[in-house]
Amino acid sequence: MNQFESLLQHLRQLRPSIEQDAERIREGCSATLSIPIDAQSMVDSKMWNGINIHLVIFFDDGVKWLLRLKQDHGDYPPFEIRHAVLDSEITTLRLLKRAGAAVPNAWMPDSLRTAEAYQDRPLDYFFYEYLSGTALQINRKGPYSLAQPGKRIRRILEGFANTQIAISNAPIRQRLIGSLRSHSSGSVDEASQEDLYVGPLVTYHCGQYVKPPYFPGPFSNNQERYLTLLDIVLQHIENGYLCQHDPLGAYIWHLELRELVETCDMLRAEPAEVFVRHADDKQDIFMGDKKGNTSGIIDWEWAYVTTRAEAFSSPTFAFDRPTFAAGNNKTSAVEDILIEIYMKAGRADLAECLTNGRIYNHLSFIGRFDHTCSPRGVIKAFAATKPFNLNPPINGTFDEDWWIYCIDPYQSNPVVQYLIQKVGWDKEKTRKEVELKKKRSREEFWKQRQR
């Protein structure tokens, strides 16, 4: 509640400036920002989530906008990070809107265009087009869910596919991998891409440096990008910033991923075209009606520019998590519907991206070492290009067999040696435990056979 009280206090102070900024963009119209009377009213309005809060701006001609602002947790990141995140999201939305994608338009307030003005503001915010409908509730399991898609899910997928097709018709001129930025601090020209450029990768998970320039890139190909991200993650694990529950296992896992990326021809290829990719495409990104007719796709914060193969690979909401984690790279029911929609639209190229894009789904879990990772699925996805001598056990989990196999090739790595000592891991003890476990399993098997 305290963070909401602080935010409301700042909003009341900034209200005249916010309304003036909105009126400058919509000349001749009077704007009124609707501010909840207290923190409880803000909570009850449900216009917020863990990161963003949305407040309505009413114009006297009946048009409505949203003020999209970050929650004030009292621990804002440095200015350079905050400004890059906002500028990239606004630039991306304006480009996609111009391309005909079903996304909200966005505008940077005049008072935040300069770095100096931005640094003086206690809140991060911008203007957002008001979309009709409500946030669509989509279940992963049960009847009429992503696991059992019916007519409503199909309509939602058709809306998603239409936006993906619109994005595919708007390649970015600069053939680099990174995040969209604007030379004029968030105001994209309505007629051209002249004001755009592909800047460093504004990544949201763990691929950031802890010191300026914070964001890596841009990159000439995906191999360069993923090797850089893996090196950052490895450094973070070594320093104790990531995977503190199991730093040794996490470090070895990311060394294995690094080997796979380093030998992958597809990732090494320089892109002929690049496109925008949603960075957080879970099932909560859709606005629309109860029947599944979508009015827009939201939450483009952290979106990035990448190759065609990655940009149109499977969205996070589409692949079945348990099956994926178990190492099955086959397409899901939702992916099969998307492929069908693309084929009917004459876009076999986009269907192919879904069919052959599992590598990118696995790489999206860089920075994690838990049940969501899939050692079996990763090896299968990289099977065509993996090092011939990299053949870890593919039991589907990070079990003792995986540990024993994967530590051996990296024992000379000084960080691995340091982490072994830090966590007190004993290879010989683990090896004996595995042998004993297998022996007991065999004995139990033969006992069962003899009954």
Please name every residue paired with 134 in a beta bridge, in sequence order, or none if there are none. 288
Averaged pLDDT, 281-297: 95
The CA distance from 433 to 429, in Å, is 6
pLDDT classification of 204: cutoffs 50, 70, 90: confident
Residue 376: pLDDT over 70: yes
Q: How many alpha carbons lie under 13 Å from residue 208 in its C-beta half-sphere?
A: 20
* Cα-Cα-Cα-Cα dihedral sign, residues 402, 408, 410, 416: positive
Residue 305: pLDDT over 90: yes
Averaged pLDDT, 115-120: 64
Report the 10 Å Cβ neighbour count for 80: 14
Residue 285: pLDDT over 60: yes
Averaged pLDDT, 369-376: 87
pLDDT at position 202 is 96
**Sole residue written with tokens 């105001």:** 187
Residue 314: pLDDT over 70: yes
Averaged pLDDT, 347-361: 97
Report the 10 Å Cβ neighbour count for 255: 18
Residue 342: pLDDT over 80: yes
Q: How many alpha carbons lie under 13 Å from residue 97 in its C-beta half-sphere?
A: 21
For the record, the structure tokens of 19 come out as: 């309304």
pLDDT classification of 191: cutoffs 50, 70, 90: very low
Residue 451: pLDDT over 80: no
For the record, the structure tokens of 102 come out as: 């079903």
Q: How many alpha carbons lie under 13 Å from residue 123 in its C-beta half-sphere?
A: 27
Residue 201: pLDDT over 90: yes
pLDDT at position 72 is 63
Question: Could you read off the pLDDT of 7-59 as tens digits, one per residue?
Answer: 888 899 999 999 999 999 999 999 999 998 887 877 776 666 667 889 999 99
Go through 178-213 and write b for each residue having 16 or more CB atoms within 10 A of its CB, e for each that does not. Answer: bbbbbeebbbbeeeebebbbbbbbbbebbbbeeeee
pLDDT at position 360 is 98
Question: Is 121 exposed, middle or buried, given 0-12, 13-18 or 19+ CB atoms closer than 10 A?
Answer: middle
Q: Which residue has the higher pLDDT, 341 or 79?
A: 341
pLDDT at position 186 is 45
User: For 172, which DSSP code?
Assistant: B
Q: Average pLDDT of the chain?
A: 90
Question: Could you read off the pLDDT of 405-444 as tens digits, one per residue?
Answer: 888 899 899 999 999 999 998 878 887 877 787 778 777 7
The CA distance from 66 to 130, in Å, is 6
Q: What percent of the chain has pLDDT over 90?
A: 66
Q: Could you tell me the pTM of the whole model?
A: 0.92
Q: Answer whether the bond into residue 387 is a cis peptide, omega within 30°.
A: no
Query: Cα 201–191–93 angle (5° rounding)?
Result: 40
pLDDT at position 402 is 86
Averaged pLDDT, 370-395: 89
Averaged pLDDT, 55-79: 86
Residue type, position 363, single letter: L
Question: Is 443 exposed, middle or buried, given 0-12, 13-18 or 19+ CB atoms closer than 10 A?
Answer: exposed
Question: Could you read off the pLDDT of 136-175 as tens digits, one per residue?
Answer: 989 988 888 899 999 999 999 999 999 999 999 999 999 9
Q: Which residue has the higher pLDDT, 120 or 221?
A: 221
